[in-house]
Amino acid sequence: MARRTELDGGKDISASGKAEASEKPGTRPAQRSGSKRTKPRSGDAAPAESVQSAQSTADPAPPAAPQVRLDQAASARSEPVADAGRAPGAMAEAMARGSSPLTAKKLAENIERIEALGQRLMAALSSRPLPNPGIESPGPELFMAAANGWMKTLSEQPGRILENQVNYWGETLKNYANAQMMLARRQAGIPEDEAPADKRFANPLWQSHPYFNFVKRQYLTNAKALKDATQNLQLPDDTARRRITWLTNQIVDMMAPTNFLATNPDALERAIETEGESLVKGLENLVRDVEMNGGDIVVSLADRDAFSVGENVGTSEGMVVHRTPLYELIQYKPATDQVHQMPLLIFPPWINKFYILDLKPQNSLIKWLTEQGHTLFVVSWKNPDASYADVGLEDYVSAYLDAMDKVRDLTGQPRLNAVGYCIGGTVLSLTLALLKQRNDDRVNSATLFTTLTDFSDQGEFVSFLQDDIVSGISDEVSRHGMLRARLMSRTMSFLRPNDLVWGPAIRSYMMGETPPAFDLLFWNGDSTNLPGKMTMQYLRRLCQQNAFAKGGFEMMGHKLHISDVTVPLCAITCETDHIAPWKDSWRGVALMGSADKTFILSESGHIAGIVNPPSKKKYGHYMGSRDFSKDHQAWRESSSFAEGSWWPRWGEWLAERAGPMVPARDPGQGLAPAPGTYVHERAA
């Protein structure tokens, strides 16, 4: 027999949020479909005639639900609390009295678990260091600018403010009237939402139930009012407007009704189906995350116990052939008898770890490149601690040069092809400019994956790259010697808060679900610290001053210009990349001095667009002219679309620049098997 709940006004609940459940001994049987129950309005007394009518027309009255008598609860409250903060035994006994033995036992166990978890949570939260206000929010100047802008609008255009208020209250009254109409009819009496589909409101109760429908509609009304108010502010510049807009969107996303238990039908249904077990498991997940992150609440995106680097991720065969305090150099075992003469060296970003290119054999770019006949080397960066505080960008450039020297020594080849991914590509560009000024031609060609070199448009990072936040970061790295990994991860997550913060938190803490065993999300959570000096050089000189694309970036006795990058170049960008937007990558490539430039635009985002093996046949790509004299939009309009991965097209480009085939090179014994030792170092 289907169990009913007040959440849907008496509709059956199935397994997808409306699960069939058998009646348990000692619980109230489901009300039969033939009986109707009149629910009095809030604040009104139920008419006696209605109660008597319901009792006379229904089947024999079901047993009363277990209740806690006030005198029992009072006696439980008066009982002294046991040692270690455990729940008083009388409280559990009083709450369970009248239930079946199994239900009573489960209730008592859950109370004990909640007490223990509560103590652990408080202990973990108390270990959290004092927050740095400089990195928690923008400085007061921005909020003063917003307040002044609102006051200016009020004084100069009061009609606009009044119009917004009238529209808001009009929509609110309409939402209330619709809710009353639904309550009277006991069914949806309003048309479907005109707003775009929002996966947060996929549960049918958001449309069919008066309470949830009103909550959703009022939330959308509030969100629109806030966004309209932001757009109407008279602010000093576009940067301030973009920052205020971003903060407004953060508030709107945070206050979504799905983020609160009382207004989330999915979580309430799950709690009813599991008799509260989902909420206890959610508390367990919360305590685990707080303990694991030093008192900070950072939701786990993946099950950390499901993966082990070198065992089921990052498994391509190879050897560490060189190690320094800053990096390990891995040479991978060849997959062909013959290889191209010129070796290939990849510089991944040091914000995350290199095994994004080797998650599993089916989507491993590392494996695919060895199968194409390349002698492949990959750098694995050290996860720095406070002792690396004085490591700067010049040290990373020196590491690039050192790795190139080692590859040339091991292969006997004077030249090589290089790849840089994300910030790895940015610093590869600096290195190429330095080599140009030194008349060093060791790099035959360069490939840049989702790389920014011109920061004139700061994109979605504009909120974080202003002086107030950057000064806060400077204080942070002065205190700790590094930018801690969790702060960088938090910044990235709040660029997509519904997907990377609130959605996972709902599933983990409110639904009680175990984080998924997803290799990509596991890698995403395995982030690294950043050295203090390097962090500030990158933020101040590259991002804020845009020195490389403008006046020149001073390093190692040279002033490096983006136009000094003159080697044959292939840039891979991604259409929906929010970290390195393709139009910004295009602008940097256009400024480079190379006469041989190829630009490829892949579908999807920063990671999925790169980790896009041909076998998946999932995302296509665009190829256009090599004319960079116009803007990115002109290039896009002239480009042609090709189905499937860009890997084969790039493989052809690379093969043309990799020399003839020679016998395969084996890495030998080495220092340690791939993926090395540095990759196992997790940020505290």
Q: Enumerate the active-site residues.
A: 422
Decide: residue 366, CB within 10 A, 0-12 exposed, 13-18 middle, 19+ buried.
buried
What distance in Å separates the CA atoms of residue 542 and residue 538, rounded to the nearest whole number? 5
Nearest to 567 by CA among 549, 592, 588, 584: 592
The vertex-267 CA angle with 261 and 271, nearest 5°, equals 105
Own/partner contacts of 588-592, CB < 8 Å, gap of 24 or more, are 588/429, 588/451, 588/452, 588/453, 588/454, 588/549, 588/562, 589/448, 589/453, 589/628, 590/628, 591/453, 591/454, 591/549, 591/562, 591/563, 592/429, 592/453, 592/562, 592/563, 592/565, 592/566
CB 530 within 8 A of CB 351: yes
Taking the C-alpha atoms of 314, 315, 321 and 324 in order, what is their torsion angle to the nearest 10 degrees? 30
CB 181 within 8 A of CB 214: no
Nearest to 568 by CA among 403, 404, 416, 400: 416
Instruction: Sort residue 277 into left (φ over 0), alpha (ψ -120 to 50) or beta.
Output: alpha
Sorted by sequence, the CB contacts under 8 Å of residue 112 that are 6+ apart come out as 86, 87, 92
Instruction: State the angle between helix axes of 140-156 and 158-185 in degrees (0 to 180), rounded to the nearest 10.
Output: 100
Residues making up the chain, counted from first to last: 684
Nearest to 262 by CA among 9, 4, 2, 6: 6
Decide: residue 192, CB within 10 A, 0-12 exposed, 13-18 middle, 19+ buried.
exposed
CB 352 within 8 A of CB 380: no
Structure letter (DSSP) for residue 601: E
Please say whether the dihedral angle defined by the alpha carbons of residues 411, 361, 379 and 348, taken in this order, is positive or negative.
Answer: positive
Sorted by sequence, the CB contacts under 8 Å of residue 39 that are 6+ apart come out as none
Residue matched to tokens 């397994």:
15
Note if the bond before 675 is cis, omega within 30 degrees: yes
CB 469 within 8 A of CB 590: no
Sorted by sequence, the CB contacts under 8 Å of residue 629 that are 6+ apart come out as none
Which whole-number Å values give the CA distances from 441 to 112, 435, 614, in the listed order?
Answer: 69, 7, 33
Q: How many angstroms separate the most distant Cα atoms in the chain?
A: 99
Q: What are phi and psi of 394, to 5 degrees?
A: -65, -30
99's tokens:
């239930």
Strands 597-602 and 569-574: parallel
